Structures are given as C-alpha cells and as structure tokens.
Chain A
C-alpha cells in the first residue's frame, strides 16, 4: 500500500517528514524570489539622478567622515544607493520663539551643523516613484545611510535628474 499503518509512504518515509521537506523547499524558493537585490543593477529606462540627504545636528568634525567618491548604502536593508558626489554644511537651525517680535524664528544653534550629502545614482522613474532598485528616492523621505566610515539618519531634501 502507498501509506502504511505508520503513515510512511511506501513504508519508507513518513508523510509528515515529506510535508516538512516540501515546506522548507517552498520557503527557500520564496526567499530567493522575493528578496530584494543587494545592488541596484541598471535596467532599461534608468535615469541618472543626483539627490541630497540632509543630516541634522552634527558636530563640526562629522563631515570629515564623509568622503567624495565613496559608495553609500541604505542602513536598514544594505542596498547600494549611490556614490557620494560632495558634502557641504550649514549652521544647524531650530525653531525658537521671539516674544518681542511675535514670531517663531529659525535660529542657529552654536556648535552644531546640518550636513548635506550629495549622492549620484541610477534610478527608475515611474508615475508613482523614483527608486534605486527597491530604495525610493523622494523629497521628504526619512533615510538611514551608511558606509564603512559613517552612519546617519536624515531626510532627502532635493532630487534632480541629470
């Protein structure tokens, strides 16, 4: 008989063990099929873009860890998201109430900088999004970026097509 009294197929392998093996194979297949690529490879229609990430409230020596020409990655998924073109800084500003003038001012905080990292990448632009592989490049998006020299949290503040 196909399945014996001990639920073994042809008396050899338990049907539960066969089921477990089948599920394992399915999971491996799904993991390979659905996992995002680590490197965004160029596809037809890819567009060269430059985008700028603003990193707030850093000490003046932080920018020295960011090197032009270095690759930069998404910290959360490890995607390669471009190459650093340049770094600039501005005084770090916070909202402060000016009671006499009755206005909320953007005032510089001594000792801190806002660091702007300009990154070049090859992206796909659709009606819905601009993305480097699975990493969306949109103004206002929170991003965690890193390479071997630095890691930081910031916002994308500019995107332009080359």
Chain B
C-alpha cells in the first residue's frame, strides 16, 4: 500500500517528514530567489540623456521649500538615482467648486500649489519607450513615489523629451 499504518510512504519515510522537507526546500528556494534577484538589471549603453517633467500636485509651502534645482531625485526604494532637477515652476492649485445652482467653477486653492519639476535623466530610449535604472519604464501618466534627501512625495509624469 502507498501509505502504511504508521504513516510512512511506501513503508519507508514518514509523510510528516516529507511535508517538513518540502517546506524547508521551499523556504530555501524562496530565500535564494530573493537573494539572487535583489539587484536590478543594468542595461549596458544606458547613457542617453533625456528630460522628464513631473508634476507634484496640491502641496503646501513646506514641501515646496524642500524641493530645489540641483536636487538628486530617487524613486522610493531604488538604489540608483532617477535624475537631477534642472528647472522648477510653481502655480497655485485649483479645485472644482460646485455651486447651489448646479454650475461648476474651477477655482484657486489657498495655500496649495502644483510644482512642475524638469529632471535630467540618463537611461535607455528606444522604440519601446524611455527607461531609467535598467528596466524601469517611464511614460506620460506614470505615477511615481519620489524622494530626495529632504523630501518625499508622489509625482506624475507629464512630459518626456530628448531635449529640454
């Protein structure tokens, strides 16, 4: 019989021991996979300069003051820089205001700002798109969690070009 009265497979090895072995092997494979795949692939010849325009919306003055030209920007959790801020522009944020008569206005928001930051990046540009840090694709509309050594925020890509 496949499993005998003492719970041993073909009378040889306990099925509990087999189950434990499977768990141990699975854990070791998982650890090994994490260890070996922890570094992002680097594309050789990823040295094309391009410009990314990001917008950070509805931030208050304390965040605005922490973002400057020359700051090195990283994507959160990335080990390599994303780019360097070469230009910034600020405008007052706007929001939809619904009125009792059913009409809508798009009105300014006190103490809230949109910041447009142009970053100089180095990566790979081809038919498939713009890439930084190996295989991280950047496209208009992408939402990114970015940080410098002063600030962290969420930004959206609104522009991509090979020239400033």
Contact = CB atoms under 8 A, between A and B. Distances in A.
A14 B8 CA distance: 14
A129 B17 contact: no
Interface string A123-162: 0011111100000101111000000000000000111000
A140 B66 contact: yes
A139 B99 contact: no
Contacts of B112: 95, 104
Contact of B107 (A14, A104, A159): A104
Interface residues of A, number: 30
Given A7-B13, A16-B20, A139 B149 contact: no
A111 interface: no
Contact of B150 (A19, A103, A130): A130
A32 interface: no
A14 B13 CA distance: 11
A110 B157 CA distance: 39
B100 interface: yes
Nearest to B16: A16
A141 B149 contact: no
Interface residues of B, number: 36
B150 A139 contact: yes
Contacts of A158: 62
A23 interface: yes
A125 B13 contact: no
B147 A129 contact: yes
Contact of A103 (B17, B108, B152, B153): B108
B72 A102 contact: no
B151 A139 contact: yes
A123 to B, nearest CB: 10
Contacts of B72: 127-128
Given A16-B17, A99-B97, A140-B63, A105 B149 contact: no
Contact of A128 (B66, B147, B153): B147
A139 B17 contact: no
A127 B66 contact: no
B152 A141 contact: yes
B81 A103 contact: no
Interface string B45-69: 0000000000000011011001000
Contacts of B66: 139-140, 159
Interface of A: 5, 7, 14, 16, 19-20, 23, 93, 95, 97, 99, 102-106, 125-130, 136, 138-141, 157-159
30 contacts: A7-B12, A7-B13, A16-B21, A19-B21, A19-B24, A23-B24, A23-B28, A93-B111, A97-B107, A99-B99, A99-B100, A103-B108, A103-B109, A104-B107, A104-B108, A105-B110, A106-B110, A126-B149, A127-B74, A128-B147, A128-B149, A130-B149, A130-B150, A138-B149, A138-B152, A139-B152, A140-B63, A140-B152, A140-B153, A159-B66
